[in-house]
Structure 1
Amino acid sequence: MPIYQTDPWRVQFFEHVDCPDEVIIPTKDWEAWTLYPRHRWIYDKLAVALSQGLEGAPHGVIPPRFPVFSKPIMNLRSMGAGSLAIADLGSYQAALNPGHFWSTLLTGAHVSTDAAIVDGRAVWWRHATGATAPGGTFDYWHIHAEAMPEIEDWCGAWALRHLAGYTGMVNFETIGSRIIEAHLRFADQWPDLYGPGWVEALVRLYASGEWAFDDQGRTDGYSVVLFGPHGPAYRHPPSEAVARARAIRGVSSVQISFHQDRDPARHSMPPGGFRLAVINATALDAGRRARAIIEPIFLTM
């Protein structure tokens, strides 16, 4: 298998693609941290903010103006842990936390962007936006077929300045086209929605440093998410129910996205809920119908 994949529900995307044994492709930030010491600094979110001319400083430094956004300087587990907007000085003083920082509160669309990078130069882009739900959760992600030139121009120029010598995938999270996080990996939640041959192109990028992918037939995709309340020790639904959801026309994959033999508290989850499943589909209605099949099973188990 070509991918370092610790989430068994995502092995389905990669297990049928050949890859040289010596090629290592990370899907988690802690793997990329070890593999790319020269560029691991980009996991310092304060450094990324300052590299773009945004205001920011560690907790303890008083912001010159409010509101600001606060989160951990480094968080290799993702899922938005510890993030919040701070409206005023009193709220800031109450929220002071070692290892956290504040920065400019950005506005605009929140976009997740995967980019293929060859020696710091972006050669392929794909963008996704999320339909947000309470507490840092999402109803679904829309993987867009169209380009987003403002993001590509800003992030492409940033990569040329800061990622020279790096070849591989980068995931950018942006708000208003400004980078709030960068990751030396791709979003492994929806590679099946990038089109036939994409995983093979991914392997070639890491194996030979070349990007060759016929992307002319790209279409919109949707990654529909199912969250449940925090607290219960959830069990996986019967395989028959998963198969029924997967059989809906337009559904490309169903991921039961947690370890049932692991303490729920050991999963990195947003405050608004515990992620139970992800359904990828080429039509939003198909993804929602598949979610409707498995959701009541979780709630009654």
Structure 2
Amino acid sequence: MQVPIREIDPWRAQYFEKVNCPADVFIPTEDSDAWLWNPRHRWVYDKLAVATCQGLEAAPHGIRPPRYPVFSKPIYNLKGMGVGSRTLYSAADYDAAYQPGHMWMPLLLGEHVSSDVALVDGVPRWWGHANGIPGKDGTFDYWEVHAGSESVIESTAGAWCRHHLAGYTGMANLETIGGRIIEVHLRFADQWPDLYGSGWVEALVRLYECRDWTFADHVEKPGYSVVLFLPHGRRYRHPPAVLVNQVRAMAGVSSVQISFHESVAPDRHAMPPGGFRVAIVNCWNLEAGTKARALLRDHFTA
């Protein structure tokens, strides 16, 4: 049996290791793999191009914004996690933040939604949506995986996919704020595939193997991905397996990820300014996920 997902984060292999897959099927979870394997459509990783093709006012650093506030970020960032992103409120902020390879765009308002979409020749066949509840400085307190559809996103982003991703078959992840696309990834969000329902990973393999999609129209019930961020500047250690198993066995909890490499220096991890992510609890009940996170926090902060 070959694990079907090219997964470099060992804490997420749990979602894929029991699903069989032909040896010649390659499914990316990392943007670096997706960029290499999809040369025709890799341009979507250019965040400046994604912004301007929607008619948003945006430019690279070196072109001064005509008004403030704006949102600044790298034009390319294959590591994710909001690295290098910030809000600029004035010309003084812009001068202090100037960096080659970065861009600015409008500071969009509205709900931040991460949408996974299964595409066959650029045509959406399935959607899964999750909205992020923000923490501080680029972190998220938790994500809520929606049940049912998001009609505005599916209409506007679906039309964008049909136009710009024609010829592409596979998963895409679209991040939107207020319905406007801010990032596109030629992969799915591997943080919560267990919350999409039984059989979803098998449908994923079939999409890449047979260029077809056979699964439920939408996510059947809501779920939550509760994140534990702790302060930067400390080298954290993994909790004992008995604690992880205790948390995983809690009612309402689906899975637990200890989401960092213990043997890798903290500054080698891609993390947002607001914290270092140490754990993720996927659950069907937000209260259960919050209690589980508290148990893990007690370990890390003891």
TM-score exceeds 0.5: yes
Offset of residue 65 of structure 1: 1.9
Looking at structure 2, the residues matched to 80 and 217 of structure 1 have their Cα atoms a distance apart, in angstroms, of 26
Instruction: Give the match's secondary structure for 1:37.
Output: coil
Q: Which deviates more, 269-278 or 84-93?
A: 84-93
Looking at structure 1, the residues matched to 24 and 265 of structure 2 have their Cα atoms a distance apart, in angstroms, of 34
Q: Please list, as runs of the form range in 1=range in 2, the aligned pairs for 1:54-203 lying within 5 A after superposition.
A: 54-203=56-205
Counterpart of 1:16 in structure 2 is: 18
Alpha-carbon RMSD: 1.0
**Paired-residue identity, %:** 60
Offset of residue 43 of structure 1: 0.3
Q: Given that residues 248 and 286 in structure 1 are in contact (C-alpha distance below 8 angstroms), is that contact kept between their aligned partners in structure 2?
A: yes
User: 272, 275, 297: which one pairs with 1:273?
Assistant: 275
Change (3 A) 1:216 1:166: closer
Looking at structure 1, the residues matched to 274 and 92 of structure 2 have their Cα atoms a distance apart, in angstroms, of 24
Unaligned ranges ≥5, structure 2 = none
Q: Given that residues 26 and 32 in structure 1 are in contact (C-alpha distance below 8 angstroms), is that contact kept between their aligned partners in structure 2?
A: yes
Counterpart of 1:53 in structure 2 is: 55
Counterpart of 2:242 in structure 1 is: 240
Offset of residue 90 of structure 1: 2.2
Change (3 A) 1:229 1:217: closer
Looking at structure 2, the residues matched to 217 and 22 of structure 1 have their Cα atoms a distance apart, in angstroms, of 29
Looking at structure 2, the residues matched to 63 and 217 of structure 1 have their Cα atoms a distance apart, in angstroms, of 40
Q: Given that residues 251 and 279 in structure 1 are in contact (C-alpha distance below 8 angstroms), is that contact kept between their aligned partners in structure 2?
A: yes
Looking at structure 1, the residues matched to 68 and 219 of structure 2 have their Cα atoms a distance apart, in angstroms, of 45
Q: Which deviates more, 84-93 or 105-114?
A: 84-93
Counterpart of 1:34 in structure 2 is: 36
Q: Given that residues 46 and 75 in structure 2 are in contact (C-alpha distance below 8 angstroms), is that contact kept between their aligned partners in structure 1?
A: yes
Deviations 1:212-264, CA, capped at 9 Å, x for gaps? 00356710000011111111111100000001100111111000000101111
Looking at structure 2, the residues matched to 91 and 11 of structure 1 have their Cα atoms a distance apart, in angstroms, of 41
Q: Which deviates more, 101-110 or 71-80?
A: 101-110
Looking at structure 1, the residues matched to 218 and 119 of structure 2 have their Cα atoms a distance apart, in angstroms, of 19
Instruction: Give the match's secondary structure for 2:137.
Output: helix
Q: Given that residues 256 and 278 in structure 1 are in contact (C-alpha distance below 8 angstroms), is that contact kept between their aligned partners in structure 2?
A: yes
Q: Given that residues 252 and 285 in structure 2 are in contact (C-alpha distance below 8 angstroms), is that contact kept between their aligned partners in structure 1?
A: yes
Q: Given that residues 114 and 186 in structure 1 are in contact (C-alpha distance below 8 angstroms), is that contact kept between their aligned partners in structure 2?
A: yes
Instruction: Give the match's secondary structure for 2:149.
Output: coil
Instruction: Give the match's secondary structure for 1:244.
Output: helix
- Read off the aligned partner of 1:147 and give its amino acid letter: S
Counterpart of 1:252 in structure 2 is: 254
Q: Which deviates more, 285-294 or 16-25?
A: 285-294
Change (3 A) 1:283 1:59: same
Offset of residue 64 of structure 1: 2.0
Unaligned ranges ≥5, structure 1 = none
Q: Given that residues 126 and 218 in structure 2 are in contact (C-alpha distance below 8 angstroms), is that contact kept between their aligned partners in structure 1?
A: no
Q: Given that residues 171 and 187 in structure 2 are in contact (C-alpha distance below 8 angstroms), is that contact kept between their aligned partners in structure 1?
A: yes
Deviations 1:166-207, CA, capped at 9 Å, x for gaps? 000000000110000000000000000000000000000000
Does residue 4 of the first structure (1) align with residue 6 of the second (2)?
A: yes
Instruction: Give the match's secondary structure for 1:154.
Output: helix
Counterpart of 2:288 in structure 1 is: 286
- Read off the aligned partner of 2:288 and give its amino acid letter: A
Deviations 1:33-81, CA, capped at 9 Å, x for gaps? 1000000000000000001000111101122222211100000000001
Looking at structure 2, the residues matched to 109 and 28 of structure 1 have their Cα atoms a distance apart, in angstroms, of 25
Q: Given that residues 195 and 215 in structure 1 are in contact (C-alpha distance below 8 angstroms), is that contact kept between their aligned partners in structure 2?
A: no
TM-score (norm: length of structure 2): 0.97
Instruction: Give the match's secondary structure for 1:286.
Output: helix
TM-score (norm: length of structure 1): 0.98
Deviations 1:72-127, CA, capped at 9 Å, x for gaps? 00000000011111112222122111000111221111111000010011111111
